[in-house]
Structure 1
C-alpha cells in the first residue's frame, strides 16, 4: 500500500492513479494521521456491493437522480427506491409548503368518469 500525505497529492497524483490502476490501495494522511484510503474500482469490488453503496450515497447527497443511481446500483428503479427507503433515506424531498401545494392540486382535479 502506497502512502501519500495530503500535501503530496498535487505533485504525486499520477503516482496515485497508477497505484489504483495496478489494483493497489493507497493511504492518504494529514499530519501523519490516516485521512482516507483510496480503493481502486475492480470487478471484485463491484461484485461485493460497493456500487450499491456508492449509488446510495450519491443519491442521498443529491449528486445523482434516482434513475441514474438505480442504474449505477444495477437495480430496477422501484427496487432501488425500496432499498434506500429501508435504509432510512427519504426518496421524496419536498419542502412541507410545496407538498401542501401539490396535494391541494389533487383536490381541484375533476372526478374520473371512467369514459
Structure 2
C-alpha cells in the first residue's frame, strides 16, 4: 500500500514539473512561435521583455511580451502578428500590452531612412 502511494506521489510530482517547465525557453527567439528574427528587445521592469520581431516566412512584423522565469528562462506572454505596410502607406503601427505594460512599434516604408520606431510604456505605480 505504501509503495502504491509513493508511486502515485512521484507520478503527480512528475506531472507538476512537466506543466511548470512547459513553454520555457533559454533564448528570446525560441520563445516566440514561428520562424522569427528578433529586431529589438527592451527589458520591462518586473515582467520580462518586450520584443519587436519579423516573421522570416511572410516578412510581417509584430511585438511579443516574454515573461522572464527563474532569471534565465523566457515564457511567451502573447503577441501581435501579421502587420505589414500596405501599398502607398508611409508606415504601419502595432501595439500590444496590458494595464501595466504596453509596447508600440511603427515600421516605415522601404524608401524611408527610418526602419523602425519602438517604444515601451510602463504605467506609473
Q: Same fold (TM over 0.5)?
A: no
Q: Larger % of helix: which?
A: 1
TM-score of the superposed pair, with normalisation by structure 1: 0.22
TM-score of the superposed pair, with normalisation by structure 2: 0.21
Q: Larger % of strand: which?
A: 2
Answer 1 or 2: higher relative contact order, Cα 8 Å, separation at least 6: 2
Larger gyration radius, structure 1 or structure 2: 1
